Structure 1
Amino acid sequence: MSDPHFFGYGSLVNRRTHGYGPTHPATLSGWRREWRATLLRPAAFLTARPVPGGAVDGLIAPVPGGDWAALDLRETGYDRVPATGVAHGLDHAPPIAVYSIPPADDGPAGARPILLSYLDVVVQGFLQVFGEAGADRFFASTDNWALPVADDRKAPLYPRAQSLAPAERRFVDSRLDDLGCARVDVARTGLGHDAAP
């Protein structure tokens, strides 16, 4: 029997942030991504929720021996749920799970910001795996861009922050400009290292 797999649709698309492999591009039908501001953390999480007709690109990778402990710890605050409707290039059909923030954890969290260092990691992954067209699909298939974006690039709060090439930074910045996202100085938000998703 083959190892179970996870479907990653955010930071897990960036292969620099984990050691799982081999990875394979995949698409999860019937879901959309969204930035979720909850009481769980001072900054917004990227999550996925079931939406009829939705689809998100991502990666699948095996979890050796079905030992989910390390990945579950990384994804604290999320539920690991079965993912159906995953299109991939494997010649077999392993069980696949996706991490999603349960709606019951939503609350009056206000405009908790998106960490720019977190978004940078996600978009870098999409650029590397899917190219600019795929990174544009990431922005188009993700909701709640009305949340402010906290610029923490100089001192990243995201624990798996990566160095971006100038072209990658320009790509992120231009797409945020296109979306009209409000930028805030991270120092004004009061966020600390406990903010990181």
Structure 2
Amino acid sequence: MEHVYFFGYGSLVNRTTHEHTPAHRARLHGWRRAWRAVPERALCYLTAVRDPDAHIDGLIAPVPGDSWAELDRREGAYDRHDATQSLTHDSDAHAVVVYAIDPGRHSDPGPDNPILLSYLDVVVAGYLAEYGPGGPAQFFDSTLGWQAPILDDRAAPRYARARPLTDEIRTLTDAGLAALGSRIIAAA
């Protein structure tokens, strides 16, 4: 049976956050990752925005028909967009979607729209596992919206799919944020 695949570019790159297999590395052309604010949530979302001069490295995996409801709940703030013609990959996927927030619903983040550090650690771990040491660096370099502050919730992670933090992930995440000059704020 042929399944539609998803393209992950944030926490879905981290295979430990889902059970969709087999997963394959992929590149989405004409899109860029960006941190964005939405009216209904104080925290930033990581989304994909159209950019004809950019690309996003990520992961694709099949979604059996009865699994879409669960994945749609997980990605509740996002809409599915057909990405089939915009991808390069080494798999037999014939149909691929990317989750992205409708452009009319988001804006650049400000000082009141922090990024959860526990979420960021999960993303960095995924990019390290999939793309090696250059993966996290490429993630930081190719993502927009880093003017948002970083909410340090490592002591009590607020991200539902937070994973145990290794010294390597902590170091890579902290170095990426330091290079960007990110402002870290303590969780209340």
1:119 aligns to what? 120
Following superposition, the deviation at residue 39 of structure 1 comes to: 1.2
Q: Could you list the per-position Cα deviations for residues 115-153 of structure 1 after superposition, in whole angstroms to 9, with x for gaps in the alignment?
A: 000000000000011111122111111001010000000
Stretches of structure 2 that go unaligned for 5 or more consecutive residues are: none
Q: Is the 8 A contact 2:26 2:59 kept in 1?
A: yes
CA distance in 1, matches of 2:108, 2:133: 35
1:36 aligns to what? 36
Q: Could you list the per-position Cα deviations for residues 55-74 of structure 1 after superposition, in whole angstroms to 9, with x for gaps in the alignment?
A: 00100000013641111100
CA distance in 2, matches of 1:25, 1:148: 30
CA distance in 2, matches of 1:107, 1:129: 29
Determine helix, strand or coil for the equivalent of 1:138: helix
1:64 aligns to what? 64
Stretches of structure 1 that go unaligned for 5 or more consecutive residues are: 188-197
CA distance in 2, matches of 1:96, 1:102: 18
2:99 aligns to what? 99
CA distance in 1, matches of 2:25, 2:66: 20
Q: Could you list the per-position Cα deviations for residues 90-119 of structure 1 after superposition, in whole angstroms to 9, with x for gaps in the alignment?
A: 1x3411000001122126974300000000
Alpha-carbon RMSD: 1.4
Structure with the larger strand share: 2
CA distance in 2, matches of 1:108, 1:133: 26
2:26 aligns to what? 26
Task: Give the TM-score normalised by structure 2.
Answer: 0.94
Aligned pair 1:49/2:49, yes or no?
Answer: yes
CA distance in 1, matches of 2:59, 2:6: 8
Percent identical among aligned pairs is 49
Q: Could you list the per-position Cα deviations for residues 24-66 of structure 1 after superposition, in whole angstroms to 9, with x for gaps in the alignment?
A: 0000011000001111312100000110110001000000136
CA distance in 1, matches of 2:11, 2:174: 18
